[in-house]
Structures are given as structure tokens and as C-alpha cells.
Amino acid sequence: MRKTYIAVVLLAVIAIVGDHLTSPSSGRAVSPEDFAGACAPCGAPCPVKK
């Protein structure tokens, strides 16, 4: 199991760093709730528009 963990941790860190370096710079970290019209933590819209 230790070998599995070593592989998973390595892959995860490489993937995170790779994704960060290849994605457009975005500034402040945000949650989907920060966007207009979001009505849930995942950014789903409200049933009735406010």
C-alpha cells in the first residue's frame, strides 16, 4: 500500500502543479457562489430568478 501511496502522491502533486502552470492566471481564489445568479455552493441558479 505504501508504494501505491507514493505513486498517488507523486502523480497528484505533478498534476496539481502542471494544471496550475498551464492554466490562465486567475487571481483570487473563488467559489462558484461568488458569481452572479448562483444559488448553491456548486453555482446552480435559483429556481426563481431574483
Partner 1 sequence: MSTTTVSASVSTSPRIDTLFLGAAVLATAILVALVLLDGQTASAALVLGGFALGIAFLKAEFSYTASWRRFLNRGEAGGLIGGLIVIAICALAVVPVAALWPGFGGAIAPLGPSLLIGAFVFGIGMQLANGCGSGTLYTVGGGSGRMLVTLAFFIIGSVLGSLSLPSFLALGGINPVLASDYLGPWGGLVATLASIALAAVIMAAVAKKRGANFMPSRTYIIGGIVIGVLCIAVFFAGGHPWSVTFGYTVWGGKIFAALGFDFSQAEFWQWPGPKRALTGSVLSDTSSLTDFGMIFGAMAAAAATKRYAATAWPPLGSLLAAAIGGLLCGWGARIGFGCNIGAFIGGVASGSLHGWIWFLAALPGCMIGIRLRPLFGMSRD
Which chain residues interact with partner 1 by CB under 8 A? 1-2, 4-6, 8-9, 12-13, 16-17, 19-20, 23-48, 50
Shortest distance in whole angstroms from residue 49 CB to partner 1: 9
- Contact of 32 with 21, CB cutoff 8 Å: no
Is residue 39 packed enough to be buried (19+ CB in 10 Å), middle (13-18) or exposed (0-12)? middle
Shortest distance in whole angstroms from residue 14 CB to partner 1: 10
Shortest distance in whole angstroms from residue 39 CB to partner 1: 6
C-alpha cell of 3? 508504494
